[in-house]
Amino acid sequence: MDRAEKKELVTTLNGVFKGAAAVVVAHYSGLTVAQMSILRRQMKRQGAGVKVAKNRLAKKALEGTDVAHVAPLLKGPTVIAYSSDPVTAPKVAVEFAKGHDKFVILGGAMGATALNLDGVKALAALPTLDELRAKIVGLIQAPATKIAQVVNAPAQKLARVFGAYAQKSEAA
């Protein structure tokens, strides 16, 4: 890799780090290419990304970003997961780590807040933005559904009473 390529990679990574709401750093030593591909696919499906870069270049790219305090975690074979949503990258990384013991989460960052392993797991336990939206829509729709049920209930009861009287008179 020549200097121009390195400079371009640092610029690209810097843009990724500036736009990321959450960053997770993990060791991936011992994972196969197929397993890394699965991780990449899972991240992409959820709207997150994964980068493997030389630690020295990644540290340069971190300079001047909110997540610069993850630089000490960049030792050994590290992978960086990131997302614009603060929950997505940690959630996918923690879920992937459960099935792959060679994928070891070291820590991460949410904006200017440094996260250790427990912090990443706590963040992963939170609902995603889409899940929160679905809950809010459900809560908003629930009162309307209940009102419709209450309004329709007297008519249904009257229909049942008339039906019962009709069956009673036919039986007699």
Residues 71 and 139 in one domain: no
Residues 110 and 54 in one domain: yes
Separate counts of helices (H) and strands (E) for the chain: 6, 5
> Can you give the pLDDT at residue 65?
84
Confidence of residue 153 (pLDDT cuts 50, 70, 90): low
Residues 9 and 92 in one domain: yes
CA distances from 171 to 157, 158, 167 (A): 21, 20, 6
Residues 14 and 56 in one domain: yes
Confidence of residue 140 (pLDDT cuts 50, 70, 90): confident
| CATH assignment of the domain containing 105 | 3.30.70.1730
105 secondary structure, DSSP code: E
Cα separation of 165 and 122, whole Å? 61
Query: Is 53 a residue whose pLDDT tops 70?
Result: yes
pLDDT above 90 covers a percentage of the chain that reads 22
Look at the block and give the residue holding tokens 């074979």. Answer: 77
Q: Which helix (H) or strand (E) holds 59?
A: helix 55-62
- List the domain range (segments joined by +) for residue 169: 127-172
Residues 69 and 150 in one domain: no
Cα separation of 109 and 25, whole Å? 9
Q: What pLDDT, in 10s, does the model give residues 82-139?
A: 998 888 889 999 999 998 888 999 999 888 888 888 888 988 888 877 788 888 887 7
